Amino acid sequence: MELKNVDIILTTDRSMMTNHHGKEFLGFMATGPPIGMPESLWMWIACPKMKTDRFGRPWQAPYALRKLEALLQDHGYNAWVIDPDYVDLYIDKAKIMMISHHDYFALCPPSSEWWVITRKEPVNARSFRRFMEKTSIREAKKRGLKIIVGGPPAWQWLYKVDLWANWGVDTVVEGEGERIVLDLVRKVFDNEPLPRYVFVGPGDSPRLEEISTIKYPSVNGLVEIMRGCPRGCKFCSVTLRSLRNMPLDIIEKEMIINIENGVHNGILHSEDVLLYGARGIKPNPEALLKLHELARKHLKEIAWSHASLAAIKNAEEEYKLISKIMEIVKSGDNQDYLGVEVGLETGSPKLAKKIMPAKSAPYPPEKWPQVVEDAFMIMHENNIVPAATLILGLPEESEEDLVMTAELLDKLRPYRSLIVPMFFVPMGLLKDKDWFTSVKVKDEHIEVMRKCLWHSVYWAEDIINRFYLKKSSTAPLRILLKLFLRYVRWKGRSVEKKLGLKPLDISLIQTVR
């Protein structure tokens, strides 16, 4: 379809408009500053440019933008996702530019952690700033262009009021967008003033039938299978929103859209894939097997966005479900492993009880470290490769909690995984420009962080050798990543030396392979 004008441009900066070479884990590098190499090379590894058609429509785009594009087109608007390099083609005549992001100012983990450790601004924030400071956008603003920004990190704008004003952002939207976006667009078209900030409460979350089906491919074939999460962790905003399972026919439709447009792999997106179709926190074997059979039928490679460790343990111990799902996943001969993000958060049952009492359910929070260890073992045995996050610096955290986390990390050594510590940054600190210098890092934090570092470096090399980037076309990237890991080893050792720390013996990891 030819494109002359676009009334509503949906876009974001390069750190988001990329498929990370088809490898979601590489997206992690987009949250850090360039280390040991020039920014351009770092950006090429982490966020290569997206292929576009001659009108600047990207081949793949972030799922949230695809959902909005579909919603607006379904309501008769001339709205398109446009690659950031092509926005200038349309900005002169556009009425609205809508932007979505995962981390506008690099204030969410893991970006915030990179700030604290390196004292340098991560590339996602740099790239976003470059985009917003384009002269063409400034000019279009003078002419009356409306800018609406949203996504999970919308709250960050509350700490960047100067940029909010300088860049001429009209409205910031936090929460699920379906209903409010149509309201806002209507207001612009009717020349009515826009609100400055909207927090969409759980009561205004859309029902399933209000959610449009994507019309063009999403980044790495991501398809949403459910919204919401029932576990209610204290530090998380997903909770409180009602649970909605996407019907299989809608999921299939979106998979087919991706495949027909040449995106053959797919990521099943949910806060906890293993709760698809569940009532409460008990997995529903039938729904999960059907979902994975469907994914196997259509997709070359399947990945999960997130799963909870408790559900992994429960699904396997009660129903042998992880083994059954992995049998389905591996049955296509295209795939011998599956990647997923999991929340490890802490090794301390006491802290777990305080901040996430339902995360271990159906097991009691007192059993949390055992749940983690068992789930890691189950994943290792089934070739599921988790990228686990843990939270450091919560106000409730004690030194004893950190010691327990360090002990748990020792127990997890034999299991193939990446473990990424995330620093909790108290919101009060974010007011200051150089907030990252005020974050207090204790000795116990350093101990946990270096355990994570050596664990992840060791297993990252194993993952690259065994599963990742095996095709000859990805050889340059593989070589670069290996060089990068070598640099990280060297840098890690020199920092340990500087701090007077005895190097950790990572060879001890080699127990289970």
Partner 1 sequence: MVESVLDKTFYEIWHIGEVDDLSIDKIIDYMNKAISEGARSIRLRFYLNSYGDLSYIQYIRRILLNNTLATIVVEDRVIEELGKDVEKLNNNVIVIMNKVEKEFPGEDKVRIVKVV
Binding region for partner 1 (CB under 8 A): 71, 75, 155, 158-159, 161, 164-165, 174-175, 178-180, 182-183, 187, 193, 195-204, 206, 210, 237, 240, 427, 431
Residue 231 near which of ligand SF4, partner 1, none (CB within 5-8 Å, type-dependent)? ligand SF4
Sign of CA dihedral 40, 41, 42, 45: positive
Place of tokens 């305080």: 354
Tell me how many residues contact ligand SF4 (CB under 6 A): 12
Residue 139 near which of partner 1, ligand SF4, none (CB within 5-8 Å, type-dependent)? none
Pattern 287-306, ligand SF4, x by CB under 6 A: --------------------
Measure the CA–CA gap between 241 and 180, rounded to whole angstroms. 16
Q: Is residue 270 helix, strand or coil?
A: coil
Q: Is 152 in the site for ligand SF4 (CB under 6 A)?
A: no
Asked if omega into 362 is within 30° of 0 (cis), the reply is yes
Determine the Cα angle at 90 with ends 58 and 126, to 5°: 65
Compare residues 30 and 229 and give the one whose CB is closer to ligand SF4: 229
Compare residues 206 and 357 and give the one whose CB is closer to partner 1: 206
Compare residues 356 and 425 and give the one whose CB is closer to ligand SF4: 356
Alpha helices, DSSP H, located in 80-211: 111-118, 123-132, 135-143, 161-166, 178-189
What phi-psi label fits residue 192: left (phi over 0), alpha (psi between -120 and 50 degrees) or beta?
Answer: beta
Measure the CA–CA gap between 394 and 355, rounded to whole angstroms. 9
Q: Which of 265, 308, 360, 382 binds ligand SF4 (CB under 6 A)?
A: 308
Tell me which amino acid residue 322 is.
Answer: I
Residue 147 forms beta bridges with which residues? 97
Q: Which of 57, 292, 359, 413 binds ligand SF4 (CB under 6 A)?
A: 359
Residue 486 near which of partner 1, ligand SF4, none (CB within 5-8 Å, type-dependent)? none
* Rounded least distance, CB 391 to ligand SF4, Å: 9
Q: Is residue 218 helix, strand or coil?
A: strand
* Rounded least distance, CB 86 to partner 1, Å: 29
* Rounded least distance, CB 429 to partner 1, Å: 13
Compare residues 60 and 389 and give the one whose CB is closer to ligand SF4: 389
Q: Which of 239, 261, 334, 370 binds ligand SF4 (CB under 6 A)?
A: 239
Stretch that binds ligand SF4, among 30-38, 225-233, 374-382, 389-397 (CB under 6 A): 225-233
Q: Is residue 149 helix, strand or coil?
A: strand
Measure the CA–CA gap between 112 and 246, rounded to whole angstroms. 33
Helices 309-319/368-381 angle, 10° precision = 70
Stretch that binds ligand SF4, among 106-114, 229-237, 422-430, 476-484 (CB under 6 A): 229-237
Backbone angles phi, psi at 391, to 5 degrees: -105, 125
Q: How far is CA 267 from CA 224, 264, 274, 479, in A?
A: 8, 10, 13, 26
Q: Which helix (H) or strand (E) holds 237?
A: none
Residue 233 near which of ligand SF4, partner 1, none (CB within 5-8 Å, type-dependent)? ligand SF4
Pattern 327-346, ligand SF4, x by CB under 6 A: ----------------x---
Place of tokens 């491919």: 217
* Rounded least distance, CB 71 to partner 1, Å: 7
Q: Is 271 in the site for ligand SF4 (CB under 6 A)?
A: yes
Q: Is residue 435 helix, strand or coil?
A: helix
* Rounded least distance, CB 183 to partner 1, Å: 4
Query: What six digits make up the tokens of 488?
Result: 């990280």
Residue 196 near which of ligand SF4, partner 1, none (CB within 5-8 Å, type-dependent)? partner 1
Compare residues 84 and 175 and give the one whose CB is closer to partner 1: 175
Instruction: Enumerate binding residues for ligand SF4 (CB under 6 A).
Output: 229, 231-233, 236, 238-239, 271, 308, 343, 356, 359
